[in-house]
């Protein structure tokens, strides 16, 4: 009987000691919690502010910025402390609400633009606008511009693919035939026009020809399109496109070829002497 009492008494003591230990541990944990009220002013911060934090006694970190609501690392008293009073203009009363994060909201995509290249590979793009900007650490806005590839094939692309054949103006065709019969019906003579190019590339073989040797890189040249060279069309083959690189070849100098960029053209025009003509 004495033994059972003694055992009961000792068990009661153990229970009391355990309860006291748990109570003390709870007090320590409560003291170990970091609080926004423990921070120096400003106690709370708007948006995302990595400097707006407080250490617990165990050197753990909690935050007092509005972004902590998204990351779940707010201090224990954030909701109670980090609130702002906002003047309600309609009712004239003060109401309290938390600085909640506002995510970015964007509108619908606009239409795709035209292909950036008239001929060959290019790109298209489309955009959208921000309808609600992000605030208080809300989700940032997504991409506002999209781009994708395209292949331009304008009706003028065929002209860009043509290779011009050129000769010196000594090969002009509009000579007068002394044997032409006056009563023979003559063809309608089409007026000539001039095209000015900037040479961008010329092969080494061009230096072997007397008339082709001046075809040097960045040299400006005038090429005349005579009516006889047009054939059934209204222009000469290979007369190029404005600000577009096209290609040429010298008809009487083997291996002489290159590229150029059309700078301007002029109707009813003849190039100066010692210029070139389209074939």
For all residues of the chain together, what is the average pLDDT? 78
State pLDDT tens for residues 92-150: 444 444 456 788 999 999 999 999 887 778 899 999 999 999 887 778 999 999 999 99
Looking at per-residue pLDDT, the higher value among 203 and 78 belongs to 203
- Measure Cα distances from 12 to 76, 204, 228 in Å: 36, 110, 124
What integer pLDDT is reported at residue 219 of this predicted model?
95
What integer pLDDT is reported at residue 179 of this predicted model?
55
- Listed residue (279, 247, 273, 254) closest to 166, CA to CA: 279
Query: What's 242's DSSP letter?
Result: B
What integer pLDDT is reported at residue 203 of this predicted model?
96
Spatial separation of the C-alpha atoms in residues 276 and 189, rounded to whole Å: 20
The answer to whether the CB of 106 falls within 8 A of the CB of 144 is yes
State pLDDT tens for residues 5-33: 344 444 444 444 444 554 444 444 443 56
Spatial separation of the C-alpha atoms in residues 42 and 167, rounded to whole Å: 83
Q: What is the mean pLDDT of residues 167-193?
A: 68
What integer pLDDT is reported at residue 215 of this predicted model?
95
State pLDDT tens for residues 237-250: 999 888 888 999 99
pTM above 0.85?
A: no
What integer pLDDT is reported at residue 196 of this predicted model?
96
Query: What's 30's DSSP letter?
Result: H
């Amino acid at each position: 009987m004495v033994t059972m009492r003694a055992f009961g008494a000792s068990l009661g003591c153990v229970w009391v000691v355990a309860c006291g230990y748990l109570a003390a541990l709870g007090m320590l944990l409560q003291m170990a919690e970091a609080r926004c009220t423990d921070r120096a002013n400003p106690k709370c911060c708007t948006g995302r502010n990595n400097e707006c934090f407080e250490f617990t006694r165990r050197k753990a970190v909690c935050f007092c910025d509005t972004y902590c609501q998204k990351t779940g690392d707010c201090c224990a008293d954030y909701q109670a402390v980090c609130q702002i009073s906002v003047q309600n203009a309609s009712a004239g009363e003060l109401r309290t609400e938390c600085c909640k994060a506002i995510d970015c909201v964007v509108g619908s995509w606009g239409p795709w633009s035209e292909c950036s290249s008239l001929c060959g590979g290019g790109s298209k793009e489309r955009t959208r606008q921000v309808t609600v900007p992000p605030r208080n650490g809300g989700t940032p806005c997504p991409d506002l511009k999209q781009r994708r590839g395209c292949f331009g094939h304008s009706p003028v692309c065929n002209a860009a693919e043509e290779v011009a054949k050129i000769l010196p103006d000594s090969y002009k065709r509009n000579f007068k035939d002394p044997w032409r019969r006056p009563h023979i019906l003559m063809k309608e003579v089409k007026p000539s026009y001039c095209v000015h190019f900037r040479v961008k590339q010329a092969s080494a073989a061009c230096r072997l020809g007397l008339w082709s040797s001046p075809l040097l890189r960045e040299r400006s040249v005038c090429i005349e399109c005579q009516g006889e060279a047009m054939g059934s069309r209204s222009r000469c083959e290979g007369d190029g496109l404005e600000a577009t690189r096209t290609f040429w070849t010298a008809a009487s100098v083997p291996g002489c070829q290159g590229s150029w960029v059309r700078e301007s053209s002029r109707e009813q025009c003849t190039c100066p002497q010692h210029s070139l003509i389209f074939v």
